[in-house]
Amino acid sequence: MGCDADAIIVGGGPSGASAAYFLEKSGCRTLVLERERIPRYKTCAGGIPASALEIFPFSFSGVIEQTMERGTFLCDDRVVTQSMPEEALYMVQRSEFDAYLLRSSGAEVLDREKVVRVEQESDRVRVATQSGKHLTARYLVGADGPRSAVARHAGMRRSEGMGLGLEMEVDPGPELLEAFRGRFLVGFGIVGNGYSWIFPKAEHLSVGIGSMGHDKGQLLPLLKRFMAGQGIDVNGHPCRAHPLPVFRSNAQRQSGRILLVGDAAGLVDSLTGEGIRHAMVSGKLAAEAVSREKPTAYPRWIERRIGKDLWWASVFARMFYKRQQECFEWLVRNHYVFGDMMRIANFELGYRASLFKTPLYILNLGKRKPLDEEAMGARP
């Protein structure tokens, strides 16, 4: 008896859509199951490094809402605005971005299909949905987020604690919208193991706060207080939460014919909280493992391409968040270090490799030159 598809992908976000695209490109019959109606809202700041898009041979210009030219960083009473490398960071609305990438994949998509059971056999995987569908495929890719049902059914459920992000979408009025055109803001020293942010979209601001630590219960009042200091009233706006799957090097990401990608695989940078670029790369690696019939190679590929660098990110995160004030001077105000952080975000440099540049950073510490530290505060 044949299978309904070569691969079933559960989840239509960046990791699942990326896997679908590269599977279809390799000639695999692919079916994507998404539990919500597409397009669906996704709690996410929406910042995407250019490198994440460069693995695809088509343009994303139609879903890019802004290109970042500057980044403003706060810590206590210190404010620094740095210029961004040209077209290094884009802002997108995840509902539109995800839907566009999924359409571009060419895969068959069934939305409003919640997976309720997964059973693995020697030559196939069986999937049952809440609507009563019973589907089979040679492989199953779990791209269904940090609380992955696929991982749970496959016995790969992670037990470690997760971080938490809160986000609101606000319209602060034309003056503040214009002040943040081409500019994002990140605030440190507000929460123990994370930061707050303001990311501009075409017609609104995405504002939020995230923590990888144990102070998650205080996030909402801290978010309101910080945004009030920036002249943004968030009272009355819906607040959405999203777990952040902190990277663990020993997490299981493959079992037999089942592979986990993106947030389901816990591929979030512990320093920045960013995971979209790793989600898309992991989707591509999973597609390669399936199309080449090498599922057991997938964890090694993840470790080599993503895992080693995310381990070093966790080392940097522990140092940075324990001493945010001191590290602010080192990582943010130093123009050379900031430039390399942008290179790391675009896969041009690794965290470990940046350690070997420490003498250069120290040599240039007195030559730091932010865009306009005095004239450009956090407020317009």
DSSP class of residue 121? -
Say if residue 275's pLDDT is above 70. yes
The answer to whether the CB of 120 falls within 8 A of the CB of 258 is yes
Q: Is 44 helix (H, G, I), strand (E, B) or coil?
A: coil
Residue linked to tokens 């510490």: 365
DSSP class of residue 47? E
Residue linked to tokens 């493992």: 289
Task: State residue 161's pLDDT score.
Answer: 65
Q: Which domains does the chain have, with CATH numbers?
A: 5-63+91-160+246-311 (3.50.50.60), 324-367 (no CATH)
What percent of the chain stands above pLDDT 70? 92
Contacts with 299 (C-beta within 8 Å, 6 or more apart), sequence order: 252, 253, 254
Cα 285 to chain centroid distance, Å, stands at 17
User: Across-strand partners of 67?
Assistant: 90
- The mean pLDDT of 236-256, rounded to a whole number, is 90
Q: Is 77 helix (H, G, I), strand (E, B) or coil?
A: coil
Task: State residue 338's pLDDT score.
Answer: 82
Say if residue 52's pLDDT is above 70. yes
Task: State residue 59's pLDDT score.
Answer: 95
Say if residue 366's pLDDT is above 60. no
Q: Is 211 helix (H, G, I), strand (E, B) or coil?
A: strand
- The mean pLDDT of 304-328, rounded to a whole number, is 89
Contacts with 170 (C-beta within 8 Å, 6 or more apart), sequence order: 204, 205, 207, 232, 233, 234, 237
Query: CA–CA separation, 23 vs 286, rounded Å?
Result: 9
pLDDT digits (tens, 9 = 90+) for 110-129: 999 999 999 999 999 999 99
Task: State residue 378's pLDDT score.
Answer: 46
Query: CA–CA separation, 378 vs 198, rounded Å?
Result: 10
